[in-house]
Amino acid sequence: MATSTITLMLSTKFTDKINQILPQTQCKSCGYKDCHAYAQAISEEKENINRCAPGGAHVIQQLAEITKKTVVTLDSNIQATDLHSTAVIDEQFCIGCTLCIDACPIDSIVGTAKRMHSVLNSLCSGCGLCLPPCPTNCIEIVPLNHAIEKNKPSSLKLMRLSQNKRSELWKGKYEIKQLRKEKSSRDHAQKITNDAVNPRLTQDKAKQIATAMKIARKRLIVASNT
């Protein structure tokens, strides 16, 4: 096996080991698109080990051990977050726009277009990524205990999983969502290609555009005469 292939395999293995230490909320607060990307930057010695806010001191300690670096405090530019928190939606203000569903990296919001949405508190990591896109500001982050008090016993089991199990669950959910997004982009690209090579469809589209332009011109004439 070529030396470059062996180096790549070792580096991938090391990245995976680092990734296993990270909490897997996929919250981006480290400045990377997901936990794996941050793990890769650490393994390539391109990044410090103190950028994971949800992981806090415990994760920094473990990262220091595996990379043989000195333990440092959390980067002061990064806001500390709590893994024992969750999002809740004030349902009376939810307009069902689905933007929070798109933003959630681990599929912990349920709801359909124009219907009220709810957070699956047993799954939610409290990462806060669903807050900025919400047009009505009806989502807030609360301590997990508040949600536990309100939830049914069936969801308590999930909420009380060990942190390792929660991280495994979040990682799995994130990977499934990524695969779904990739498939959807592929399907979309394929549809564009099919439309482009389908002359009948192209003719129909051209006709539709011509009709729409005709109507718009007529409306303009009517409007300018009134």
Q: 3-class SS at 27? A: coil
88 near ligand SF4 (CB under 6 A) = no
Structure tokens belonging to residue 70: 């000195």
Nearest 10 degrees: CA dihedral of 41, 43, 49, 54? Answer: 70
The interface with ligand SF4 within residues 23-52 (CB under 6 A) comprises: 23, 25-30, 32, 34-35, 38, 52
User: What 3 state SS string does 70-119 have?
Assistant: CCCCCCCCCCCCCCCEEEEECHHHCCCCCHHHHHCCCCCEECCCCCCCEE
128 forms part of the interface with ligand SF4 (CB under 6 A): yes
Q: Give the largest CA-CA distance in the chain.
A: 80
Residue 122 found at the interface with ligand SF4 (CB under 6 A): no
Pick one of 99, 142, 148, 158: the residue that binds ligand SF4 (CB under 6 A).
99
The encoded tokens of residue 57 equal 């001191």
| CB closer to ligand SF4 out of 109 and 159 | 109
Residue 68: both structure tokens together: 């043989």
Does residue 139 bind ligand SF4 (CB under 6 A)?
Answer: yes
Kindly indicate which of the ranges 97-105, 181-189, 204-212, 213-221 contains the residues binding ligand SF4, using the contact rule CB under 6 A: 97-105
* Interface segment toward ligand SF4; rule CB under 6 A; list 20-28, 69-77, 192-200, 206-214: 20-28
Q: Of the two residues 103 and 191, which places its CB atom closer to ligand SF4 in the complex?
A: 103
Within 13 Å and on the Cβ side, how many CA atoms surround 89? 28
- Bridge-partner residues for 119, per DSSP? 109
Q: Which of 40, 43, 50, 108 binds ligand SF4 (CB under 6 A)?
A: 108
Q: Provide, rounded to whole angstroms, the least separation between the CB of residue 163 and ligand SF4.
A: 12
Between CA 87 and CA 142 the distance in angstroms is 6
Dist. CA 107–CA 156, nearest whole Å? 18
CB of 107 to ligand SF4, least distance (A): 8
Residues near ligand SF4, by CB under 6 A: 22-23, 25-30, 32, 34-35, 38, 52-55, 87, 89, 94-100, 103-104, 106, 108-109, 111, 117, 119, 124-130, 133-136, 138-139
